Amino acid sequence: MKSKASAPGKVILFGEHFVVYGVKAILCAINKRVTVTAEKIEGEKISIKSNIGNLVLEPNKPVSEINSPLKPFYYLANKMLQSQNQTTGIEIIVESDIPIGVGLGSSSACCVAGAAAISRLFVETPKEEILKLAIAAEKTIFQNTSGADCTVCTYGGIMEYDKKNGFTKIKSEPDFHLVIANSNIKHSTESVVAGVKQFKEENEVEFSNLCNDESKLVEDVLKLLNNNSIKELGQKIIQNQVYLETIGVSNEKLRNMIQVGQKSSFGAKITGAGGGGCIFSLTDESNLEHSINQFKDKNYECFSVKIDFKGLDTF
């Protein structure tokens, strides 16, 4: 029997980094997906195949000793074998159309789709349990995750999230397009988050003021989303980028890309950890093509996405 699941990637619209310190963030799932297929196989082994490489290991190895980006899948498979008292082998196949390591939630989508496909080989697992498994799996590669990314990859749509209260779906379904431009600079979320921690420790008062400013901005955005006020949302995106510049997660290439985005759309900013990765520009039908063409003219890799309202899907 095969168990298959797919989960969307994500964009953080507002509040990355500040969310780690308790500020509310706004995220949306995007229409790019990871699909994971899990199957019981003969022999006591966990075999993972993906387009970034393969990993084959026997069960019961300490996860801390595994040095592979595929570690979360091993963790999930091993955990299910242990909790279900099973000695079968598991084969996991990962297919993805989300660019890897650039802030679009590819690892969270892998953890969510992986948790669903692997756990459902053994037991029917409700979404809340899948999310818990996925966050635990993500912690094997990024201990300090806020959990925001896995949450939006599980439930889809657009949501507000804070560490204390978890997520609340935002009811309005805004009809915007995002143009994602990829700097093709790989980043480690963990080390960019560590850099922000250092900024905070060296600038406690400034960081606390920035957290207050970001909180206020997010509250304003929630009102604007209800009214579908796209131009005003663009202004908030531009303001959020100022805060991200201040905490040091931008760089020259990202700034150049953001300038292209801000000139050709309603607003543009980094999404996710920064330090590399992607930026997005906010568009509607009136300026979507224009924004794409402006990025392409400057030889930046880009593509457009819409909100995915489905979230985790199982087959």
- Examine residue 272 and tell whether it contacts ligand MEV (CB under 6 A): yes
Is 149 considered catalytic here?
yes
Contact, 134 vs 190, CB < 8 A? no
Contact, 271 vs 277, CB < 8 A? yes
For residues 130 and 148, which CB has a smaller minimum distance to ligand MEV in the complex? 148
For residues 82 and 208, which CB has a smaller minimum distance to ligand MEV in the complex? 208
Q: How far is the CB of 110 from ligand MEV (least distance, A)?
A: 14
Q: How far apart are CA 158 and CA 218, in angstroms?
A: 13
- Of positions 91, 149, 162, 214, contacts ligand MEV by CB under 6 A: 149
- Residue 28 DSSP symbol: E
Name the one range near ligand MEV by CB under 6 A: 29-37, 59-67, 141-149, 252-260: 141-149
For residues 133 and 148, which CB has a smaller minimum distance to ligand MEV in the complex? 148
- Of positions 34, 193, 247, 257, contacts ligand MEV by CB under 6 A: 193
Size of the site for ligand MEV (CB under 6 A): 14
- Examine residue 275 and tell whether it contacts ligand MEV (CB under 6 A): no
Q: Which of 96, 80, 108 is nearest to 36 (CA)?
A: 96
- Residue 148 DSSP symbol: H
Ranges assigned E (strand) in the chain: 2-14, 25-41, 46-50, 53-57, 89-96, 158-162, 166-169, 177-182, 267-271, 278-283, 301-305, 313-314
For residues 45 and 132, which CB has a smaller minimum distance to ligand MEV in the complex? 132
For residues 234 to 263, the per-residue mask of contacts with ligand MEV, x marking binding by CB under 6 A and - elsewhere, is: ------------------------------
**Distances from the Cα of 22 to the Cα of 60, 63, 163, 164, angstroms:** 35, 29, 6, 7
- Examine residue 103 and tell whether it contacts ligand MEV (CB under 6 A): yes
Q: How far apart are CA 49 and CA 83, in angstroms?
A: 23
Contact, 44 vs 118, CB < 8 A? no
And the tokens for 54? 């393969």
Q: How far is the CB of 93 from ligand MEV (least distance, A)?
A: 25
For residues 56 and 194, which CB has a smaller minimum distance to ligand MEV in the complex? 194
For residues 17 and 177, which CB has a smaller minimum distance to ligand MEV in the complex? 17
Q: Which of 151, 149, 100, 157 is nearest to 277 (CA)?
A: 100
The SS3 of residue 72 is: helix
Question: Which one of the listed residues 97, 149, 162, 313 is annotated catalytic?
Answer: 149
Q: How far is the CB of 193 from ligand MEV (least distance, A)?
A: 5
- Of positions 19, 94, 130, 133, contacts ligand MEV by CB under 6 A: 19
For residues 86 and 188, which CB has a smaller minimum distance to ligand MEV in the complex? 188
Residue nearest to ligand MEV (CB): 146
Q: How far apart are CA 308 and CA 306, in angstroms?
A: 6
Residue holding tokens 């959020």? 240
Contact, 141 vs 152, CB < 8 A? no
Residue holding tokens 């996925």? 134
Q: How far is the CB of 315 from ligand MEV (least distance, A)?
A: 27
- Examine residue 16 and tell whether it contacts ligand MEV (CB under 6 A): yes
Q: How far is the CB of 19 from ligand MEV (least distance, A)?
A: 5
Which residues are catalytic, by number? 149
Binding stretches for ligand MEV (CB under 6 A): 12, 16-17, 19-20, 103, 145-146, 148-149, 189, 193, 272-273
